[in-house]
Structure 1
Amino acid sequence: MKKIFTPLLVALAVALAACGDEKTKDQADWFLTPEAVVDGTTVEVSCLTRFGDGVLSAVGAGFIYQPVGEVAFGDFTVVSDCRVDGSRLSCTLNDLMPEMTYVVWAYADLPAGRVQSAGVAFETGKGGGPDPDPDPDPGVAKYKGWAELPAVQERPDDYYYAAHYCDGKPGGRNYSVCYSRDMHGAIWVAYPMHVSYTEGDAGGQNKAWKYDPVIPSFVQPDLSSSYKNSGDGDFSRGHMLASNDRQSSVATNRQTFYYTNMSPQIQNGFNGGIWATLEGNCHKMICSDTLYMVTGAYFADKTKTCKDKNGNTVIVPTHYYKVLIRSKSGNTGKPLWELAADEIECAGYWFEHKVYSGARPAQFIKSVAWIEEQTKQTFFVNVPNAPKEKLNASFWDI
């Protein structure tokens, strides 16, 4: 799966002119450039806008697309049945022509007329590849190729789901998040790990703490400063997806500073100790086939709390965990869902949220099935042969 992010130069100019025949207005200042994630002849398109919460749901909004090349310009398709997540608009384009270049634009029908984004080009594959889930869950594009995704739980009064895409290198998806309004924090963050994400030093002094633009800001804590804890010292803003795991570009790294990717963690002896060691050691397991991970928080009870900058209550997790999956050889060149169980390795790490001294991450390794039993989550649902009951501790050099 890949994200195509390419202007069409002359052809795009012609296509924009053709859009004028539909009496649209090119006011790209309302939109960021759309993104297209291609999987054979199915494409997930999304566009982050500058409209406030609720605007896209109140007006007509969607996407316009058309093929380029052999098919004459002017053969437009308008898709109005789209998903709205805050200020992001997205939809799935199915059954496109194989090995064809398309251009897609986002649009919104405002009272003053139609406004639309700049166009972006993408090229479809040969077809026959894995299809997206036929009934995608809101906020998370569930692809069979997204091996890291846990099952989506239907908790509409509590859980919010969002998928974030790289605004810079390497392109494609960045991470997905399950966020709890009741806990005021992340339940899990799922993401791929590959050198294309980790190589570089784009993080630097990037401390762009901000609200997640996809999830409504009113359910998020204000973490422009650290979590406030009464009596025992403040909790740090612990990254679920570490900043060091996204060093390929400043834009991609900046998304790791969204408040929905934060969780209150004891700094000395946990976030700055054994947890940081585990995060660094996971890099040893990155392979050319890609390592897939989920970082999660678990709440055995809700008695431990802290406050955000505005005094809102945040529940402090009692445990943190990571689950990992990859091919055994690391270089099969195949997606995980095509591999047999004996070609796949997976494991988890489970920690009580407390101060550790002299301990090593390897002491806390568990099977993925064991962590599923504790959390009631189901991991790696898009990898049917994942050997979650099996634990080969010697394989995981962390």
Structure 2
Amino acid sequence: SEAEAMFRRIGITFAVYGEGGDPDRLIPFDMFPRVFAADEWRRLERGIKQRARALNAFLSDVYNRAEIIKAGRIPARLVYENEAFERAVVGFKPPRGVYSHIVGIDLVRTGADEFYVLEDNCRTPSGVSYMLENREIMMRMFPQLFQETRIAPVETYPALLRRTLGSVAPHKCEGEPCVVILTPGHFNSAYYEHSFLADMMGVELVEGHDLFVEGDYCWMRTTEGPRRVDVIYRRIDDAFIDPLCFRPDSMLGVPGLMNVYRSGGVTIASAPGAGVADDKAIYTFVPDMVRFYLGEEPILKNVPTWQCAKRDDRAYVLENLAELVVKEVHGSGGYGMLVGPKSTKAEIELFAEKIRARPENYIAQPTLALSTCPTFVDAGIAPRHVDLRPYCLVGEKVELVPGGLPR
């Protein structure tokens, strides 16, 4: 198709490992857009921004005064025993108190006016480049659609992201902040996105060996000599950021970077340790965070969730595994899941044993009757269940472009 030819020419790919052959795949293109009316989007925007503010308030709290834990609203073990909780940043507050600067909120729709948050992504949510490139291809292929209808633009995202990152530069920053994107390298599944965003934002794309620490600052090696870095938009996991603080075998990070971060010499976006807020066991408590920190009622609902660590919840889940979706609390990307209605009896029995052995590692949710969207498939046009990931930017302001990545 014309769209696939454009994607191939531009090089819009993502990587899938473990299936043999060439891991690079073209991003799927569907000519049928996911459509939201303006009033629907305004409600979603309010709910997404509210949730992003609450998640950041939670992170600021648990790494400092822990008032929500003292108040008994969230069990301490879910935070302090969480593998995403980073003790290296306890007592430290980043610029503007922002821990998660790019929040991806995965939404599903079950009815005309029924939206649910499926999960939160507070670390390094990916996919926004595909939203932008998809819109660009749509505008090329169907220009009349954009001429005849009032479609809200999404192409402002890179400029908003650049402004957001600049707004959280450390207090020691002098003049225009130097922002870089730290990538694991071209073998990473999202490398196309890292390169795309760096190009669109007009910032440098760097790997760990391009940066070094000297004095109280982080520096970038350039052909004109070292240049001080103020903000690092990192697209590597916490464990690889600094081999002197986290995994000593990391070749992707910058030795000594955490010392500079804690001394206020550089901002890391999103902050190390932000992942504790998007853990699936913590997810259950996000509506309580909204009430506790913001004094508001949640605009967006959670999917009803059973925590297998609770005896009564566990009994219900084990009794109804064939009808539920079960997830690992620390899992992501669809790994470690059981989709009961699509699983064999043997798979269900095996998963039940896993739950009995480590119940605190699992939560369960009902299978929702998701809304569908017309989708172009090999056989023609067919309805397909969809979700949506909008990207909320948190800095001096909380901002959201009117779009997202549908899947």
The bucket for the TM-score relative to the shorter chain is under 0.3
If each structure's strand is expressed as a fraction of its own residues, which one has the higher value?
A: 1
Ranked by relative contact order (alpha carbons within 8 Å, sequence separation 6 or more), the top structure is: 2
Q: Decide which structure has greater helix share.
A: 2
Report the TM-score, using the length of structure 1 for normalisation.
Answer: 0.25
